[in-house]
Structure 1
Amino acid sequence: MSLLNERQDFSDIADVFLLHGSMQSPAFLDGRLCALLALHEVTPQAWLEEVCLGLGIEQPRDPASAERLLGWRRQTLEALAASEMNYEPILPDELYSLAEQATGLKEWAQGFLELVEEADEAQRKQWSDTLKEVLADLHGLEQIETDIDDSPENENDLFALTEHARMAAMLLYTEQHPGKPQVEQVDAPVH
């Protein structure tokens, strides 16, 4: 069965991490992936190397794991580049407590901002004031309280913060790739 067209979520990626002996959350690497795709257009091979480095392994243990990790990159790139603006960060979902969801969002922001901070001055000068403001606001996510109760208020707040992170990722990608709603055309017609 091919995983190429299957939408992956947090649990799918976490399962691959567990297969490789890692208990870490995929959220941090997902934040890095978004920033890498926006700022550097990371290749599939470079992404595999990035994940393996993060997991402390030399290479994926089997072809299915490699395919799932590459599918994660492909899925993220397609969502960031889509005109529907349907990108969703890989974060713990409603199966997890709000505290775990908040921790995932905090880790995502840390991974994302770690690479954004490394952007060179030439890139930064091209960013709109809106993007600069959104990225500055994201720093607040690195400080969010994660020891929260499961309450409707906290759920609503967390949803709003997650939406802010989602929009920041799409805005960064869009500004770095002007006029290219689809960066990778897999089935582009040949003339």
Structure 2
Amino acid sequence: MSLINERQDFSDIADTFLLHGSMQSPAFLDGRLCASLALHDLNAEAWLEAVCLSLGVEQPRDEAAAERLLGWRRQTLEALAGSELNFEPLLPDELFSLAERAQGLKEWTQGFLEVIQDAGEAPRRDWSEALREAIDDLQGLTAIETEIDDSAENENDLFALTEHARMAAMLLYTEHHPGQPQVEQVDDPAPQH
């Protein structure tokens, strides 16, 4: 059974973490992964090392686990670099409560911003105003209230916040990898024909 073309979701990766004795959420590491792919072109070996370190193991427990963890990196990179703009942060889905989903978004954002802060001020100097604003706005997500009720209003709010995080990640990747994907510039007022 090959996992190469299988789309992995939050539960798949969380199950892989459990196999390694870790109860942590994959959301934090996914945030780190997205920012690292954008800023540092994180390679597969470095990613596997980072995940194992986070899980407190020396190496994945078997080939299937290694392939799943590498597939997670591969699918994230393909989504960030793809012209379809279909990147989605790896977050708890509708099977989880709204509170769990809000906590996942909070953790994803913390991981994402941690990599950006570790990179220092140098990369920021070349960023567009739109990207700087998007990243600054993400700071607020690290303090969002996660003890929320399952309601349509809260669901809509969480969707909007998740969409903001998604767009910030794609913008960060696009600005550090011009031409991948081919998208119009956000701050270009000229109409596209």
* TM-score normalised by length of structure 2: 0.93
| Aligned position for 1:173 | 173
Query: What SS does the corresponding residue of 1:21 show, helix, strand or coil?
Result: coil
| Aligned position for 1:50 | 50
1:18 aligns with 2:18: yes
Shift of 1:181: 2.3
| Aligned position for 1:90 | 90
What amino acid maps onto 1:13 in structure 2? I
Shift of 1:75: 0.1
| Aligned position for 1:37 | 37
1:129 aligns with 2:150: no
Distance 1:149 1:120 in 2: 37
Distance 1:139 1:122 in 2: 19
Shift of 1:179: 1.5
Query: What SS does the corresponding residue of 1:118 show, helix, strand or coil?
Result: helix
Distance 1:33 1:152 in 2: 30
Distance 1:174 1:163 in 2: 16
Alpha-carbon RMSD: 0.9
Higher mean C-alpha deviation, range 86-95 or range 114-123: 114-123
Query: What SS does the corresponding residue of 1:165 show, helix, strand or coil?
Result: helix
Distance 1:98 1:147 in 2: 8
Distance 2:58 2:118 in 1: 25
| Aligned position for 1:148 | 148
Write out aligned runs for 1:65-104 (5 A).
65-104=65-104
Identity of paired residues, percent?
A: 77
Give the gaps of 5 or more residues in structure 2: 183-193
Cα deviation, 1:15-71, whole Å, max 9, x if unaligned, reads 000000000000000000000000000110000000001111110000000000000
Residue pair 2:39, 2:176 contacting (<8 A) in 1 also? yes
Cα deviation, 1:145-186, whole Å, max 9, x if unaligned, reads 00000000000000000000000000000000011328xxxx
Distance 1:51 1:117 in 2: 19
Shift of 1:124: 1.0
What amino acid maps onto 1:154 in structure 2? N
